[in-house]
Amino acid sequence: MKLPKRDALVWALYDWANTGYAMIGLALLFPRLYKTYWAAELSDGDQTFWFTTLTVGAASLCVFVLAPILGSIAELGGIRKKLLMRFATVGIVACAAMSLIEENQYQLATLVYIVGTVCFYSANIFFDSMLERVSHAGNRHAISGMGFAFGYSAGFFLLVVILLVTQNPGWFGFSSPLIASRFLFVFAAAWWALFTLPLALLFKEERKANPHKLLTTAKLGLAEAWQTLKDIIRQRHILWFLIAYQFYIDGVNTIITTASNYGSTIGFDEKQIYLAFFCVQIAGVPFALIFGYLGQKIGPRRMIFVAIMVYMFVSFFGASLQPEPMFSLGEFKIYEIYLLALFIGMCQGGIQALSRSYFTSIVPPDKTVAYFGFYSMIGKSAAILGPMLMGLAAVLFYDPSEPQLSTRIGMGMLSLLFVGGAIFLSLAGRASKKAEA
């Protein structure tokens, strides 16, 4: 692989930049502080309702509604870089503001999270759609994989920072782990801002003439989104792929968002769960590149199939996961959760990178942003079917004498999402061949 040109490098660097919010604002610190600090006065039931439904759920709903419209507005106005920067700026401010929220201010924490998360995902709509500008058919899948490799590299570094700062706050002048954790939101905001600068300063985008005011552009964007939806329904290879994506990425996102809670439920401690996250990041960097390279060589759809098969194995393996070590050598112990994390890391970045590049290759090149609005509508809010399956398992199979059983069955039931994804991805391939013919 030849080194990509400057635009591709500064584009991929944004995957490194926004990982600051993804790791600290979404995956690790915000959920923990919401439970132990901001909503500590609530009962477990009220806390779960506020966090899952009114916080995470509301943010997902906003993205679901806004994504197609934002994509169409950017397509009409030719202002995707401008909109990316505006949403990223507001998201950065919201991330920093999380450090100022005081104890038991769970309503304010919910509001700031919604603003930050909606801006984070909205900026990604325009970022993902830029892939067609920084790549061509001969390197698109590899460039997409490089972006996710940057993100996993940043995630590994950020995990080290999080562990060092929260476990040893005195080293950095903090009086408690709580104060250290709150500072990390400022750190994440600064990280996001600093590494976005190359994209802001060096990436050049061709501007389209747009004589309309913002309100008129918004109305035209809504009409364009409706037209794009009708076009997607008519183009079956795109429609089947988006349905396949809805299934398998919902399973991927459910595993991401429930991994920490699931590990705790079946008996792993906090250090083991953090180490499992390290395993995901370590495997994610090389395998995102490998998947990109193989996607370029043998086709992205085939490699997505490979990732789906591995995720089916992950759901079954996860359902039978045991907290006891697989083997011990004195103080050195290997646990099944680390092996599971390596399997997830092998495919997580690859399936996301190739989904993005494959979708770029099948949509009309002159309407990439509008189509990516619908892609983002699914990908950035898809953790719906998986939690529903896990909740259904909790209701149907709960046994007070074996409380872990229903949780394990729920993890196994996620395999249904990957089966559905594989079926519709196969239909997308057949429809694509017909479209080419």
Domain ranges of the chain: 7-206, 234-437
Indicate the Cα dihedral angle 162, 168, 170, 174, nearest 10°.
30
Looking at per-residue pLDDT, the higher value among 236 and 393 belongs to 236
To the question of domain 234-437 being in CATH 3.40.50.300, the answer is: no
CB 344 within 8 A of CB 111: no
Three-state secondary structure of 272-329: HHHHHHHHHHHHHHHHHHHHHHHHHHHCHHHHHHHHHHHHHHHHHHHHCCCCCEEEEE
Could you say which DSSP state residue 78 is in? T
The whole-angstrom separation of Cα 430 and Cα 394 is: 37
Question: Is residue 94 over pLDDT 90?
Answer: yes
pLDDT digits (tens, 9 = 90+) for 158-185: 988 988 898 888 898 898 889 999 999 9
Q: How many helices (H) and strands (E) does the chain have?
A: 19, 2
Q: Give me the phi and psi of 328, to 5 degrees please.
A: -125, 145
pLDDT digits (tens, 9 = 90+) for 299-354: 889 999 999 999 999 999 988 888 887 766 666 677 888 888 889 888 888 898 88
Topology (CATH level 3) of domain 7-206? Growth Hormone; Chain: A; (1.20.1250)
Q: Say whether 234-437 and 7-206 share the same fold.
A: yes
pLDDT the model gives residue 307: 93
pTM: 0.77
